[in-house]
Amino acid sequence: MAGHRPSLDLVVVANPGSRRLALLGQAMAGRGVPAPRVVSYEEYLRGGVRLARVLREGSVLRIESPGQDFEVERAILALGTEDERPGGSSLGREGLGRLAFDRGRILGPGQWYAGFSRLLRRIREDRTDAPPHAVMNDEESIAMLFDKPRCREHLVDGGIPCPRALGPVGGYDELRDRMLDARVGRVFVKLRCGSSASGIVAFESSGPRTQAFTTVEVVEAADGPRLYNSRRIRRLSDEREIARLIDMLAADGVHVEQWVPKAGLEGLAFDVRVVVIAGRAGHAVVRLGRGPMTNLHLKSRRGSVPTLRGRMGEPAWESLLETCRRVGEAFPGCQYLGVDVAVLPGYRRHVIFEANAFGDLLPGVLDPSGRDTYTAEIEALAVRPARSRP
């Protein structure tokens, strides 16, 4: 492409100053593409900007993660108050106004999802009047990817191997009954609409023994107990404590699935994050963890992809990448997608346990052509434009 300056009008809805935006900007500068035009979530949520006016003919819209910004989180929660939702923690507008930033606190995940879905629908409606443009990851796909049971069902329908799901449960007692019925002794309990590492409990029971590993902490406050995501994996063996935690999470909606054992590498269990970009599975990272939650970015460290490939053998590794590509195909409205894969002991088989609409934040991980995820996305736009607005 020497001598040819690619023209790309990328409009990004994002939190200004976020790391994701900085990495994207670097990649675009590296490709000689004009810097993206940024629509800040904060301003957009205030109604200060209309996408119909921002998007031009041929623009490409990228909807980024709204995370890591408390004001944006508060505004999304406020949007969620407009929805009728049964049960779960809810924060009224007044309460929201008084809310102060509190690191790690899990704030009404059901309400947040309702608000985020509403925001996505607003974006979708807002751009119907815009000139013809394209979208990298569309709103419906993002909404589905943030809803774990729906996403899993969609993947299973597409013939993609996923851990067995045990359905929604209303609380700890129901969880135990469900596990007995299904003859499953070990499960992951995840917030139905949480981000990948938020509010996860690995729970196991055998006869009268119960045990849980979790990063969630229950902290007593004047207005009742609060949940926090912490940086530490704790082991709980007191059943009452476990029951209380699971009851609290279940009130906000949880997804329960079988805890499929993961294979080990370098003495530790691991999973693989693969980023699928425009149908290619070129970026992979091996995440080693001491505990059952290898997908935590917190204390995991990276393992060697070549070592893993060697252990698995090329056919099993290729089959894993093929499954990831099929996850990508299952979401034709997504140009890029993070796919979390557990390799089973024995290294032959694998299951998909998460797919993430904003799963391309893998700084320093390069594909076989030496490109980071953002560069690969930008170049893929030049080759095959993202799906045009239907």
Q: Quick count: other Cβ atoms within 10 Å of Cβ 111?
A: 25
- CB 380 → other proteins: shortest distance, Å? 35
- CB 163 → other proteins: shortest distance, Å? 9
Q: Contact region for other proteins (CB under 8 A) — 3-11, 102-110, 207-215, 358-366? A: 207-215
CA atoms within 13 A on the CB side of 113: 22
Complex with other proteins: residue 60 or 286, whichever CB lies closer = 286
- CB 307 → other proteins: shortest distance, Å? 12
- Of 166, 157, 126, 193, give the one whose Cα is nearest residue 331: 157
Token pair for residue 270? 């691991």
Task: Please tell me the count of residues contacting other proteins according to CB under 8 A.
Answer: 31
280's torsion region: left (phi>0), alpha (psi -120 to 50) or beta?
beta
Asked whether position 206 contacts other proteins by CB under 8 A, the answer is yes
Complex with other proteins: residue 91 or 320, whichever CB lies closer = 320
- Cα gap 251→386, rounded to integer Å: 38
Q: Which residues contact 193 (CB under 8 A, 6 or more apart)?
A: 109, 110, 112, 113, 146, 147, 148, 253
Asked whether position 185 contacts other proteins by CB under 8 A, the answer is yes
- CB 267 → other proteins: shortest distance, Å? 5
Torsion of CA 226, 232, 236, 241, to 10 degrees: -10
Asked whether position 165 contacts other proteins by CB under 8 A, the answer is no
Site for other proteins (CB under 8 A): which residue of 4, 98, 103, 209? 209
Asked whether position 67 contacts other proteins by CB under 8 A, the answer is no
Complex with other proteins: residue 12 or 269, whichever CB lies closer = 269
Distances (CA, A) of 327 to 154, 163, 323: 10, 15, 6
- CB 236 → other proteins: shortest distance, Å? 11
φ and ψ at 204, to 5 degrees? -140, 150
- Helix, strand, or coil (residue 95): helix
Q: Contact region for other proteins (CB under 8 A) — 117-125, 183-191, 327-335, 370-378? A: 183-191
Complex with other proteins: residue 307 or 369, whichever CB lies closer = 307
Window 261-290: residues binding other proteins (CB under 8 A): 261-270, 288, 290
Asked whether position 17 contacts other proteins by CB under 8 A, the answer is no
Site string for other proteins, 223-262 (x = CB under 8 A): ----------xxx------------------------xxx
- Cα gap 242→296, rounded to integer Å: 20
Torsion of CA 215, 352, 140, 85, to 10 degrees: -40
Distances (CA, A) of 185 to 69, 167, 178, 206, 259: 38, 15, 10, 6, 9
Asked whether position 186 contacts other proteins by CB under 8 A, the answer is yes
Asked whether position 298 contacts other proteins by CB under 8 A, the answer is no
Complex with other proteins: residue 6 or 228, whichever CB lies closer = 228
Window 322-351: residues binding other proteins (CB under 8 A): 344-346, 349
Place of tokens 């370098």: 266
Q: Contact region for other proteins (CB under 8 A) — 4-12, 106-114, 199-207, 273-281? A: 199-207
Asked whether position 103 contacts other proteins by CB under 8 A, the answer is no
One-letter amino acid of 331: F
φ and ψ at 87, to 5 degrees? 65, -170
Residues binding other proteins (CB under 8 A): 164, 183, 185-186, 204, 206-207, 209, 211, 233-235, 260-270, 288, 290-292, 344-346, 349
